[in-house]
Amino acid sequence: MIAFSYGVRMRRIFHYALIPTACGLLASCSSVPEARVKDTSRSFTTVIVDAGHGGKDNGALRRYGGAEKDANLDVAMRLARKLRESQFRTVMTRSSDVFIPLDERAAISNRQKNAIFVSVHFNDSRRRGIRGFETYYHSSIARNLAYRIQQHLVTIPGSTSRGVKTANFRVLRKALYPAVLVECGFLSNRKEGAGARSASYRDELADKIAEAIVDERYGKGTYRPPQTADSADTSGHTE
């Protein structure tokens, strides 16, 4: 077990060292004390959807064209739409390619009432073989939500879990509500990079995260995927 945790720690250091943009998420500042984080897991009516990076901050640069910020925004917009269709109020920290400082993202979230916060990112590594989903939380109040999102994501066929982890990311530790950060796969990996460039795969990612959020609020199996024009065409159902 010691060897295992050492390995995890080394991987995390390795991960941060390779992603200077992600290091911005770690800039030092005080945390919200655990006791001040409101447990809205079973009552929330609003979901703050945070598309990572934006504007001058590209996030991870995709080796196959484009930048992380664009993939984040697309998944976040899809997620917000699905959540509205499930009767949640949504607030996006950005809905276009603009730079929003991390403290402002947390402030936007903390101004809401009865909410949870979900940040959408994609990952990057110099080692192209590395792939898989990661979901992060800071307050233990967000632990269930993080596990639930990860569980739903890994139902995507052929996907890999790199686990649910705690992290000191600024947007998480300044949150007054349950807050998670989802890494939707590695842009540097051939398979996951190709996925990120596919609208239908990005939609599937958003669908899984939405499904997890609805389950967290109302109980397992309560999510009904929105009947979009695309899914109606491909499924052949006419209901």
Binding interface with Zn ion (CB under 5 A): 52, 59, 121
Nearest CB to Zn ion, comparing residues 62 and 121 = 121
- Of the pair 52, 195, the CB lying nearest Zn ion is at 52
Radius of gyration of the chain (CA): 17
Angle at CA of residue 63, ends 7 and 208, nearest 5°: 65
Minimum distance, C-beta of residue 20 to Zn ion, in the bound complex (Å)? 11
- The residue sitting closest to Zn ion, measured at its beta carbon, is 121
**Where do we find the tokens 């590594």?**
125
Q: How far is the CB of 52 from Zn ion (least distance, A)?
A: 4
In three-state secondary structure terms, 16 is helix
Q: Residue 122 Cβ, how far from Zn ion at the closest point, in Å?
A: 6
Which pair of tokens denotes residue 179?
Answer: 């807050």
Shortest spacing between CB 94 and Zn ion, in angstroms: 13
Nearer to Zn ion, 32 or 182 (CB): 182
Residues facing residue 117 across a β-bridge:
48, 179
Residue 161, beta-bridge partner list: 133
Supply the minimum distance, in Å, between the C-beta of residue 236 and Zn ion.
37
> In the structure encoding, which two tokens stand for residue 78, read together?
């899809």
The residue (of 121 and 208) whose beta carbon lies closer to Zn ion is 121
Q: Which is nearer to Zn ion, 33 or 65 (CB)?
A: 65
CA distances from 212 to 5, 14, 39, 44, 100 (A): 28, 29, 17, 14, 26
